[in-house]
């Protein structure tokens, strides 16, 4: 890596000369829309990029902060990471060009695309969906149908909320017999802990772990009831893929280098996140590491082992689209090649020994044993 950047620095004068003499490039630079290759020339000015998370600053996002500090920065990118308000909000932010890149549930991205938003999945983080309904054990709920007659809180833009009608159909729940309240994301856990609600929509990689830490809980994973999809991962737009191909590649590769670090050394990856967000020093470190561990467990699968991080198997792409159509009754859903692309995925790989290490470290976070 150092050699490649040293070589690009040697060509700096030549490229600057070309840029200076090119009216078109000069205009692009003045407008702040420099081609991606300029970011690699070792210039002191990094290209600024906005990136939105699907949720709060939880341990499952340490890989993005490792990328921000090292792997994106080494590629000439200054990436500002914004907190999220649910996958639905992240999808809208990308589709409306508020940001060019985000992390979001891929099934929610498919729903957004069916409604006319230009969003494309460019690399999966999770190979299994983390969406769940989590309930207090003392509520007496032991299976999904027990949720009828109880109170459920969810966040309006969260992926589990968007997909809940599908979960209800898959489990035979009559949703009209559930008292469903939409609350601010910050109120989800406290509502259940304080017994203002029996259950909450959760992601196993974040707030399900937080709830379980506060009170004994049971978790119903959407994936275990037929709603298995590719899930949290990177999204962008078709215009970015077409016009900023090199930039998209740098975003994906940098993120997946961060994910590799999170899989192999979650504690070090967490250190990068805490350095960027000092307020996290007040959070229990073991909880943040549980978030990361839960995420890592769901990130491992045969597709990425074979093809590299971020890879989305064709059958998984098809299943994700089919789930949205079947359970969400979505219409006008674009074809697979408009929703997913592996053009940028798979460059970052783990060795056989590294996969063995990642699996051993994440085994205790299996939701079936939680």
Hey, what are 158's tokens? Answer: 């969260």
Give phi and psi for 221, each to the nearest 5: -75, 125
The predicted pLDDT at position 12 comes to 39
Contact 78, 49 (CB under 8 A): yes
Going by pLDDT thresholds of 50, 70 and 90, the confidence category of residue 15 is: very low
What is the DSSP secondary-structure string of 309-329? TT---HHHHHHHHHHHHHHH-
Do 131 and 221 contact (CB within 8 A), yes or no?
Answer: yes
Res 5: pLDDT: 39
pLDDT at 18: 35
Whether the predicted pLDDT of 19 surpasses 70? no
pLDDT digits (tens, 9 = 90+) for 224-275: 998 888 999 999 999 999 999 999 999 999 999 999 999 999 999 999 999 9
The burial class, CB within 10 Å (0-12 / 13-18 / 19+), for 221 is: buried
Spatial separation of the C-alpha atoms in residues 293 and 343, rounded to whole Å: 28
pLDDT score at 368: 76
Mean pLDDT lowest among 23-32, 246-255, 307-316: 23-32
Question: What is the sign of the dihedral through the CA atoms of 43, 49, 54 and 55?
Answer: positive
Of 135, 137, 181, the closest CA to residue 155 belongs to 181
Nearest Cα neighbor of 109 from 85, 128, 86, 88 is 88
Q: Could you give all domains of the chain from N- to C-terminal order, each with its CATH number?
A: 46-128+230-369 (3.40.190.10), 131-225 (3.40.190.10)
pTM for this prediction: 0.80
pLDDT score recorded for residue 227? 87
What distance in Å separates the CA atoms of residue 172 and residue 114, rounded to the nearest whole number?
25
């Amino acid at each position: 890596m150092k050699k490649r950047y040293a070589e690009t620095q040697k060509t700096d004068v030549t490229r600057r000369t070309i840029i200076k003499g090119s009216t078109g490039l000069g205009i692009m630079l003045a407008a702040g829309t420099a081609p991606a290759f300029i970011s690699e020339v070792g210039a002191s000015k990094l290209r600024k990029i906005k990136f939105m998370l699907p949720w709060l600053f939880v341990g499952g996002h340490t890989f993005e902060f490792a990328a921000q500090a090292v792997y994106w920065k080494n590629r000439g990118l200054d990436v500002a990471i914004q907190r999220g308000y649910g996958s639905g909000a992240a999808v809208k932010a990308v589709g409306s060009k508020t940001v060019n890149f985000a992390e979001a549930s891929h099934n929610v991205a498919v729903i957004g695309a069916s409604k006319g938003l230009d969003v494309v999945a460019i690399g999966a983080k999770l190979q299994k969906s983390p969406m769940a309904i989590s309930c207090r054990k003392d509520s007496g709920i032991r299976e999904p149908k027990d949720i009828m007659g109880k109170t459920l809180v969810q966040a309006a833009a969260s992926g589990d909320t968007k997909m809940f009608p599908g979960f209800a159909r898959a489990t035979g729940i009559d949703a009209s017999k559930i008292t469903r309240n939409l609350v601010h994301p910050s109120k989800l856990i406290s509502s259940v802990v304080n017994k203002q609600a029996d259950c909450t929509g959760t992601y196993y990689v974040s707030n399900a772990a937080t709830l379980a830490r506060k009170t004994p809980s049971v978790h119903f994973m959407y994936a275990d009831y037929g709603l298995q999809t590719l899930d949290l991962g990177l999204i962008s737009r078709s215009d970015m893929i077409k016009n900023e191909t090199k930039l998209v590649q740098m975003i994906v590769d940098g993120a997946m280098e961060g994910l590799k670090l999170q899989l192999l050394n979650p504690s070090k990856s967490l250190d990068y996140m805490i350095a960027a967000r000092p307020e996290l020093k007040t959070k229990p470190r073991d909880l943040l590491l549980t978030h990361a561990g839960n995420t890592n467990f769901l990130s491992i699968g045969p597709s990425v082992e074979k093809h590299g991080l971020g890879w989305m198997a064709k059958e998984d792409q098809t299943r994700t689209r089919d789930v949205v159509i079947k359970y969400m009754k979505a219409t006008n859903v674009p074809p697979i090649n408009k929703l997913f692309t592996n053009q940028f995925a798979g460059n970052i790989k783990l060795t056989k020994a590294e996969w063995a290490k990642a699996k051993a470290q994440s085994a205790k976070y299996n939701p079936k044993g939680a």
